[in-house]
Structure 1
């Protein structure tokens, strides 16, 4: 009996053990992949994908864990459709029952084992997304890709209000796949993201509030691609030549080394097939596909713009470095422009008037892996401006981040205060969303190129000129040159080149408009070169730069010539040669010091160019009614043209104003041939000429035709897709003129300019003439109050012939406000030099004395000038008496 009991118990134990083991076998850690994907369509490649309707799964083998690959994102529809948005190096990592998409912090590196561990521990990778493992086969793990790519991994929620236009939130449940392609080295995924909320419209509330649950699509394309290992050798960046680049802090360096960073330029892996040949075909040529969407009439000019760079590559021995292929309905038709393997030139209709040429690089080496160019069709629609009044004035401020911040600190003195109430709320919202978008792009290190935005306005100038010559339209040959130049600029970016805003200072305006007609009107196509318009009656050179400048050849030589490091330094040492001047975005603000590092300036003599522009603008203004409106048309285009001419006139003066307090910047290294000092103060004589020019132009009273002013009709269209409506019917001519004058006046006396003027006497060699704060403030005072010296005691002034015109009265009130509330009052808390305060007080005292002398003969004054002088006396006296 006991034996039987023991056997029974033993049998029961073994049975229970077997059952438990069976239960464990029946409940694996993860379900079988085969069962899950049984009814799904398999797609084999870089990763194995399985798709059924909106279900999309990926099988990630453990062999791919911790191995980096490229994740690239492109906005594939909507505003900025076709724009490369972001890219990053990522890898897979398993954590429990989840797969993590990790992004390493590649800014820090160490090659030595001990320091490498310390760096990795100090600067760990971040988790981009975590998704549950839903199945397993061996060492392969199945995940749902919706958790990654239908989320806001691209970070578009922050900019959806601008890209779509509304108050919106991402709704992953309504998002859908619109493209899934798998290849051996990459995967291409298209996602139509759904944003739910209210959209801006043309009604008075600016939103469609009928149904806040509506969803609006915004498509994003994701590329997951292997990173090629092709023996690419990074090239060291040099401050004398402008390239985009990557910077890595290297903890392997010795402690006594001054530079802790490795800086590499962005460039393609481009080499000769046979390095022994003086001229050799490229081993890995850069291939651009012109998308089939590009209009037929423009394809020739796009192709020419792309291939123009072959001239620079041939000079360093590489033939056919850049190749162009035309996509058609049959040729290359299956290539996706968003695919990270292909470089495309794309046509868009974003209604923004811009072009861009971003690229994607290996963040560890700077090797360019992919590049795309987008060209907005609306840039060429010059005849129908989408801008309403005031946009030109705002553009001068909003496009300049440094200057904008200065303007914001002015408070009630800001010229924007004169304009803000004139801008429809809808337009204010649109402009704010655009600024938010640009801010997000900069924070994500997405290069922002606004090269095309101002070009559209320049085409409107061309339109006015052609109309005067009896032509109904701008010739296609001119438009072709325009497209070619913009294309050259953007291709330069895709080759790695940064902006060079000093390139346009290479030639004088007389040389550009000489009978020689140089093809290169600028030292670089990487500048924002304006169209060169010569006034009627003078020699007209090339309107646009139609080929590369000397800087462009030099920059390509530095970036792509196959040489040893010692030879590379010899190339960079040529920086002081004629035509190789360089200055990028970092110091191109209105408030920065170098007058030649600027956008939309031209020639080595800014005053000569400004005089040419002003003569041209006057010619256009004289018969504006004939140039910009035809029989049977409404008169609103005249108002738009008038706005444009005012803005162009003011911009010419801003360019000249930057010479005052100016200092040329040079990046020469010690020991370079003909090395220049980093700072060279603009000659005092040139600064005096600039101030005299401003006093005789922008600060004087404009002479507008009453007929023109009576035809500045407001825009009245108010519906979706247009912002032509003007907030007020009557054109605010005084507000506009005073706003531009205020911009330039503030530019002359803003803190950075005054600081440089304070320092410059110490930087000029003994015996050389100097230009000081006193020279500036005294010169401004004399110029703005010249009527006080011209007062004739024997003359009886009237309101129709006043002592001081209405424009000058406004300007003089601005002057007083700046001298009292900005230079002398500490309320602004601006870093104003003590000398500026002293000179300003002296000027006010002298001004008060002159005003009092004139008021002794007040019976001879017109009533408005009298009131103006009494008010001026009151403000000065009130301040001084305090």
Structure 2
């Protein structure tokens, strides 16, 4: 595999840059300047056993290691030319290590990003694992141990059952490079051979992303860097991936193949994997049980020995090991602070804001008696270490070719206890620029209203806060600039960017500390409080930095509050207290119960990703702000319409192009879609509270009918009414695309629209309203609502919902006016949904819903027939209504025949 290169000296503290393998393209960084001396007691050739090995056995230890230098550290590494061998003593086969994989260099696209840490879900780089070496004959295996199932204590039977029932996994294997040392009985294994495979599954990820035949190329892959220290063995494998041939974009079949946009030669790419091997803590952190009333990431293990609990699952809070230097002091520094290293890749202009966002969390730790629990260090430009090393938490900067997540804050956790061992927060450079390249600057139609719920979804480790916050930053800058309140190149605009960065830094550090999203925190303050700049300067705009809050913009002419969250909220203090407050073992359970029992306090309101994903709770969602969602929605609709209206009169400089108008309109329509989602959650909404008995609140609380009706009325007025969404013809004639971006899109085979597709953009937004209105989930909630209401309580019925939506869409049939194109598109979408539900009655689980929809279809057929009998219709509108009539006739007749059969 690795042949014929000259030896390089070792770097400081055992760090080396390995020479390049023959045939591999590209240069490796310069070798470290100084040689590392062997530590006292390190193996030497003079002491190496040299007896001849048995027939068929690997070569003698002394033969393999002759001329090699030693790099002492976690495991002794022998190095000769570009070959690296780990020396494994008999006791090393009994040890458990933590293996942390990360991407060191990527391609800036398709999720293969340099600096990306693997998540525990294993969706990016392969999962971090507890590993162990195992010797099988002349083979060394690297095993991932199964840590999800435990049998604590001394029970022999439970341990035997555990061993028999659950298997480890094989990560890699390699033949022994040497026979055992005569004295130490240790053996050598080639580190490059052991890790030469595609352990992280990058090849499969590339195939999924591009549908091309990318595969790992062992011949041109090599170990290129190694650092060995007492508690860390870190090394990098530069893997080559190649495609023997490329399928053309746009080829028949769906989905079509695509091509990486960043490669000089599309058939070849390199991805460097950074691996850290560290010892596990000798004494596992005392686990702290999780409580569903507070949002922490958790480590779940199955206790197969204890058969008394209802469930064998034990859920432990993920948290750093934080202990006071003086346990008796009310305020004490920690024995070991949580230290984040700002990577040298972070631009100088942003470091202070990121530092401020990180250190803001010290306020929460001070409240539980820790002085300076969190520290921030700056990596020197000439540092020998890498912040990807498994012993350093970091904040890094990614120069990706495409905006993907904005920022992300993953961590690696000891699965035995939930102790956080490492975290690498990453920011994308595109998210902090003038945002000219964000997805909101569309070549095609705007996103549907349903995008308002593209939250972290079902994977709690996934975070899109940075991405959404970046778009909200762009929206704010465009609106304020169009008002004339802000010059995009001014210090005030720079302050907006810095405020956004601090907000995102606080959010991602929260994840790195073990906190999950809190999507109910946006509801704790009133509109009067939010409108007060003095209040928001002290309290922020939500109860937690773990929210996805919209940028906070004041109506024109009113004082501007803090646009982004500027400080921790009350929930953040509470969540830190539960996870990190020092507690004596005998007091822990009672104190945790006391802390969690505060969940009914209004300022500690909490809901997380699953609550948002279910779509039932009107408060557990993203991009809402304030205690009154209707007030919030009215304000946001007004801001969006203001931005659109100002584009018609916007004077552009000669150094600008017209695509700025398209971007601003796209921002406005996307925000209207998100506001529509906020309103849709009110209809049939049920507050789902995580309280335990004794809080005085019912855990399931249907929303008052008056609120639901008000939300429905506002949706109809702002999105479905005939005059709801219109752009001036003069503006549409100016909304040209960014022609340079269009050229790139054509080259890469992406969708391209030169003319602004207003009809498609508006219909996208309206479809985002109709889809949930006609869903089985909403029908069931409205029909079931009366079961939860006391006698005399009013409810919004399903019949009323269908009737009001039908009138909103088809109200144009009254009178003799023609039907414009936008209305015809909306009506066609609605009747297709209606017909589809009638033709597939199994798609609705409730008989009442099917009956009501049939009644709506019969009434609509009569209204269409009546309109066709009156004059005033153009040829397109008449054809549209005749086609609608035929669609209804077929759907109604087919349903009747099926029911009769």
The two structures have a TM-score, normalised by structure 2, of 0.84
The corresponding residue for 1:655 is: 678
Question: Does the 8 A contact of 1:44 with 1:183 survive in 2?
Answer: yes
CA distance in structure 1 between the aligned counterparts of 2:367 and 2:872, rounded to whole angstroms: 74
Structure 1 or 2, whichever has the larger Rg, is 1
Moved more, 703-712 or 864-873: 864-873
Moved more, 60-69 or 198-207: 198-207
What is the SS of the residue equivalent to 2:117? strand
The corresponding residue for 2:802 is: 777
CA distance in structure 2 between the aligned counterparts of 1:176 and 1:378, rounded to whole angstroms: 31
Q: Note the C-alpha offset of 1:237.
A: 0.6
Task: State how 1:236-385 maps to structure 2 within 5 Å.
Answer: 236-255=289-308, 257-329=309-381, 333-350=383-400, 351-352=402-403, 354-385=406-437
Question: Does the 8 A contact of 2:290 with 2:316 survive in 1?
Answer: yes
CA distance in structure 1 between the aligned counterparts of 2:734 and 2:494, rounded to whole angstroms: 31
Question: Does the 8 A contact of 2:449 with 2:765 survive in 1?
Answer: no
What is the SS of the residue equivalent to 2:202? coil
Q: Note the C-alpha offset of 1:287.
A: 0.8
CA distance in structure 2 between the aligned counterparts of 1:273 and 1:402, rounded to whole angstroms: 38
Task: State how 1:141-180 maps to structure 2 within 5 Å.
Answer: 141-160=187-206, 167-180=213-226
Moved more, 458-467 or 80-89: 458-467
The corresponding residue for 2:553 is: 533
Q: Note the C-alpha offset of 1:634.
A: 2.7
Moved more, 690-699 or 772-781: 772-781
Q: Does 1:695 align with 2:738?
A: no
Task: State how 1:114-193 maps to structure 2 within 5 Å.
Answer: 114-135=157-178, 136-138=180-182, 139-160=185-206, 167-193=213-239
What is the SS of the residue equivalent to 1:761? helix
Q: Does 1:544 align with 2:564?
A: yes
- The Cα offsets for residues 263-311 of structure 1, whole Å up to 9 and x where unpaired, read as 1010011122112211111122101111122222211111110010011
Question: Does the 8 A contact of 1:174 with 1:193 survive in 2?
Answer: yes
CA distance in structure 1 between the aligned counterparts of 2:187 and 2:651, rounded to whole angstroms: 66
Q: Does 1:463 align with 2:477?
A: yes
Query: Which residue, out of 16, 31, 54, partners 2:82?
Result: 54
Q: Note the C-alpha offset of 1:478.
A: 1.4
* Residues 644, 499 of structure 1: alpha-carbon distance in 2 compared, 3 angstrom cutoff: same
CA distance in structure 2 between the aligned counterparts of 1:457 and 1:57, rounded to whole angstroms: 49
Give the number of aligned pairs. Answer: 802
Question: Does the 8 A contact of 1:266 with 1:361 survive in 2?
Answer: yes
CA distance in structure 1 between the aligned counterparts of 2:250 and 2:738, rounded to whole angstroms: 16
Q: Note the C-alpha offset of 1:570.
A: 0.4
The corresponding residue for 1:491 is: 509
Task: State how 1:843-862 maps to structure 2 within 5 Å.
Answer: 843-856=856-869, 858-862=870-874
CA distance in structure 1 between the aligned counterparts of 2:245 and 2:575, rounded to whole angstroms: 46
Q: Does 1:81 align with 2:114?
A: yes
Unaligned runs of 5+ in 2: 1-49, 119-126, 252-257, 895-901
* Residues 383, 366 of structure 1: alpha-carbon distance in 2 compared, 3 angstrom cutoff: closer
The corresponding residue for 1:508 is: 526
Question: Does the 8 A contact of 2:100 with 2:390 survive in 1?
Answer: yes
The corresponding residue for 1:11 is: none
- The Cα offsets for residues 493-533 of structure 1, whole Å up to 9 and x where unpaired, read as 11001111111122233321135432320111111122111
Unaligned runs of 5+ in 1: 1-21, 404-438, 792-796
Task: State how 1:370-769 maps to structure 2 within 5 Å.
Answer: 370-387=422-439, 388-390=442-444, 392-393=446-447, 396-397=450-451, 400=454, 447-467=461-481, 468-469=484-485, 471-473=487-489, 475-514=493-532, 516-518=534-536, 519-563=539-583, 564-589=588-613, 592-624=615-647, 629-671=652-694, 673-674=695-696, 676-700=697-721, 701=723, 702-717=725-740, 718-719=743-744, 727-769=752-794
The corresponding residue for 1:877 is: 889
Question: Does the 8 A contact of 1:357 with 1:374 survive in 2?
Answer: yes
- The Cα offsets for residues 723-763 of structure 1, whole Å up to 9 and x where unpaired, read as 79762322221122112211211122212222212221111
Aligned-pair Cα RMSD in Å: 2.9
What is the SS of the residue equivalent to 1:292? coil
Q: Note the C-alpha offset of 1:315.
A: 0.7
Q: Note the C-alpha offset of 1:165.
A: 9.9
* Residues 28, 861 of structure 1: alpha-carbon distance in 2 compared, 3 angstrom cutoff: closer
- The Cα offsets for residues 617-639 of structure 1, whole Å up to 9 and x where unpaired, read as 12211222665953243322322
CA distance in structure 1 between the aligned counterparts of 2:776 and 2:160, rounded to whole angstroms: 47
What is the SS of the residue equivalent to 1:698? helix
Q: Note the C-alpha offset of 1:678.
A: 2.5
Q: Does 1:102 align with 2:147?
A: no
Query: Which residue, out of 27, 45, 49, partners 2:73?
Result: 45
CA distance in structure 1 between the aligned counterparts of 2:264 and 2:470, rounded to whole angstroms: 37
CA distance in structure 2 between the aligned counterparts of 1:869 and 1:28, rounded to whole angstroms: 86
Q: Note the C-alpha offset of 1:137.
A: 1.1
* Residues 160, 741 of structure 1: alpha-carbon distance in 2 compared, 3 angstrom cutoff: same
What is the SS of the residue equivalent to 2:418? coil
The corresponding residue for 1:809 is: 824
The two structures have a TM-score, normalised by structure 1, of 0.86
Question: Does the 8 A contact of 2:659 with 2:736 survive in 1?
Answer: yes
The corresponding residue for 2:30 is: none
What is the SS of the residue equivalent to 1:223? strand
Question: Does the 8 A contact of 2:339 with 2:375 survive in 1?
Answer: yes
* Residues 495, 504 of structure 1: alpha-carbon distance in 2 compared, 3 angstrom cutoff: same
Q: Note the C-alpha offset of 1:156.
A: 1.7
Q: Note the C-alpha offset of 1:40.
A: 2.5
